[in-house]
Amino acid sequence: MQNTTPPLTANNPDLASVLSQMPSAPLDPLDLTAFRLEATISDGVAKKVLTVLPIRKPAKDSFVRTHLDPQCWMVFGLIELQETSRIYLVDPKIVPALQERGEATFFRAHLVLTVDRKGNPFLWPLKFSAQDNIWHISARGAAEKAREKWVRVTSNRAAGCYDAAVAENQDAEPLWPDMEYKELLRLAFGNRTINSLEHPVLLELRGA
């Protein structure tokens, strides 16, 4: 039979690389030690790299933990556009003006670093205001429990609040991202910041 293997030349470096790593003799299926790898060769274990960080409530079918560090519970002024579900970070300097105008899309919230049992992190916006309602209060109570225990948060429309169910016999530690809180904020918001009353988002809300 004619040999159809391409010649090993400078124009065929990939084939040369592959063939150079092939064993000189067939592997013996009865001697499985022949399948061993050299201990010095790296396995190339991939490390999970965050490229996005959602800003959302916990999923109703997930158990979550919230971070113990108070620095991961910072309070921010936010504007949420319901049509696009996009949330913007608001410069504190313009917050008084927004309040004077009664901007309905503006709210204050703790942005709490939270993670589910699969190690997926997100920022949980826990709203609060002078006219706190039971939804806000019960959400914050659930988040407080989640500092120490795995908690599943579900809405109880009959009672008008959130229920918090604690996982039984679950001692696994949460897998937190290896990033500072300020880096997580930058990942979550990107360029979605509002630092002027003439920002396009505010102009659109005013119908300008």
Alpha carbon distance 72, 95 (integer Å): 22
Print pLDDT tens along the chain (208 aa): 455 545 544 455 554 555 455 555 666 667 776 667 666 545 555 566 788 999 999 999 999 999 999 999 999 999 999 888 899 999 999 999 999 999 999 999 999 999 999 999 999 999 988 788 999 999 999 999 999 999 999 999 999 999 999 998 878 899 999 999 999 999 999 999 999 999 999 999 998 7
> pTM for the full model?
0.76
Alpha helices (H) in the chain, listed in sequence order = 13-20, 95-101, 134-145, 181-189, 200-205
